[in-house]
Amino acid sequence: MKKKADIILAAAFLILIVFMPLTGSVIRGAAGETMSEENRSLASFPRLHSPEDLDAFPGRFSDWFTDHLYWKTPLVSLKAELELALFSEIDSQKVIAGTKKPWLFYRDQDGQPLETYKHTNLFSEEELQNVTENLESLSGELEELGIGFVLLIVPDKEQIYGDAFMPKRIRVLESPNRTEQLLSFLSENAPQIRTVYPVSVLKEKAREKDLYYTTDTHWNREGAYLGFGELLKALAEDRGLSIEQIPHRFTVTGTRSGDLQRLVQLGNDWDSMETDAAEGCRLRVTEQQKDRNGESVREAAVSTAPETAPLSVYFTGDSFRWNLTPFIEEGFAESVITSRYYFDTEDLVAAEPDVLVYEIAERYLHELGSIPGYNTMALQLESPQ
């Protein structure tokens, strides 16, 4: 009797994980579905028109089957949950499960955050020189126009919470990491370039609260506020202004799914907590431009806070700028905030700011060898009057 029950159970499991998804895939294809949940076109069923098509058939069939697999999302999610429950790991080339739920970390070759954490991806001497020369060229051109320059490096999540939640099997070398290496090189060879890297204050405060989303690569609103404080110190401390004069209390406003959580398709119970400034920020947005996905790529604002720093700031950065935006707009008298991937130096010159703040996530430091959008010709326009 037990043997018969085992056979029935095995058959039911086979139907669940193979035949039902396969049947659903056929139905899905017959229905003419062409788009995936990832907002991209699904692979089409491979056709055999020539001998060359026969060689490519296995790979193309695999792509078609994977794209059209019915119940794909819940099956992938179930797989990740089972791996975590059984082995405390996720079989993923992009995500590492932390030692405490729900902490997740990024391990992709896109920027190599894991290698930066392990101190194994140091810059070569040539790379350091290229970055330094590019930053010197940019800051020199800006100086001729009366515009200051600050490089803001946002620490990778791994730098702040890796020691607490990264699996022990991941070894960290004793040598400086690539960020420390670059900052040291700049300090010795281009001391005129001001840099802000708020890793120390974030590490200190991280013992008390979450400053990054647990299942996302980005800092949350509280982490961004601390980063803003270090930027404010670099720009306005000599003017007698500090973050203590622009205080904010934070409150939980809800939850959000994280980019790492979505990569391995974990369910809603892995959502990160969302916080925001309880009082709101005092500012007036005067202009906003969005891309086709509805994301703001340029926003101009005027602060309405009485204790604002009397500076006009042009801030360009990557996705870490999103949670920084309200504090930049409140903390400085005037501001323009743009995506660094749309960085237009003609727009910078026209804005006539006191300072350009170039924000970059730590994992993208290698891109500083050729800043996107850096247009020397635009910087050589007539100096603002």
Q: Are residues 128 and 22 in the same domain?
A: no
- Does 105 map to a domain? yes
Q: How many domains does the chain have?
A: 2
DSSP per-residue codes, 34-47: -B-TTSSBPPPPP-
Decide if 319 contacts 156 (C-beta within 8 A).
no
Q: Is 80 exceeded by the pLDDT of residue 209?
A: yes
Q: Categorize the per-residue pLDDT at 238 as very low, low, confident or very high, splitting at 50, 70 and 90.
A: confident
Q: Given this model, what pLDDT does residue 61 score?
A: 62
What average pLDDT does the chain have? 83
Poorest-pLDDT segment among 12-21, 51-60, 126-135: 12-21
Same domain, 47 and 109: no
Residue with tokens 């005037």: 334
Tell me the longest C-alpha to C-alpha distance in the chain.
Answer: 93
Sign of CA dihedral 374, 376, 382, 385: positive
In three-state secondary structure terms, 96 is strand
Judge if 66 and 99 occupy the same domain: no
Choice among 214-228, 313-327, 370-384 with the minimum mean pLDDT = 370-384
Q: Tell me, what's the pLDDT at 375?
A: 63
Whether the per-residue pLDDT at 170 is higher than 80: the answer is yes
Residue with token string 């009797």: 1
Per-residue pLDDT of 78-128, as tens digits, reads 455 555 554 456 657 889 999 998 999 999 888 899 999 999 999 999 999
Flag whether 385 is in a domain: no
Domain check: are 21 and 126 in the same one?
A: no
127 shares its domain with 49: no
Q: Are residues 117 and 197 in the same domain?
A: yes
Tell me: do 245 and 131 sit in the same domain. yes
Residues 28-51 have pLDDT tens digits of: 454 444 444 444 456 677 776 666
- Inform me whether the pLDDT recorded for 384 exceeds 50: no
Which has the minimum average pLDDT: 23-37, 39-53, 151-165, 314-328? Answer: 23-37
User: Do 161 and 299 belong to one domain?
Assistant: yes
Query: Would the pLDDT of 66 be above 90?
Result: no
Is residue 56 domain-shared with residue 126, that is, in the same domain? no
- pLDDT at position 234 is 94
Residue 219 located in a structural domain: yes
pLDDT of 129 > 90? The answer is: yes
> What residue numbers bound the domain in which 172 lies?
95-379
The amino acid present at 113, given as its one-letter code, is P
81: in domain:
no
Give pLDDT tens digits for 136-150. Answer: 999 999 999 999 999
pLDDT at 99: 92
Q: What are 182-208's pLDDT values in tens digits?
A: 999 999 999 999 999 999 999 999 999
Res. 265 pLDDT band, cuts 50 70 90: confident
**90 in a structural domain:** no
Tell whether 52 and 156 lie within a shared domain: no
Global pTM? 0.78
Q: Are residues 37 and 106 in the same domain?
A: no
Domain boundary among 26, 54, 70: 70
For residue 267, pLDDT beyond 50: yes
Task: Confirm whether 80 is domain-assigned.
Answer: no
Both 335 and 191 in a single domain? yes
Q: Does position 312 have pLDDT exceeding 90, yes or no?
A: yes
What per-residue confidence (pLDDT) applies to 15?
Answer: 53
Q: Count CB atoms within 10 A of the CB of residue 345.
A: 23
Q: What is the pLDDT of residue 376?
A: 58
Q: For the residues of 267-329, what is the DSSP string, one character each?
A: -GGGPEEEEEESS---EEEEEEEE-TTS-EEEEEEEE--TT-EEEEEEEEESTTHHHHHHHHH
Domain assignment of residue 21, yes or no: yes
- Say what the pLDDT of residue 218 is: 98
Q: Quick one: pLDDT band at residue 231, thresholds 50, 70, 90? A: very high
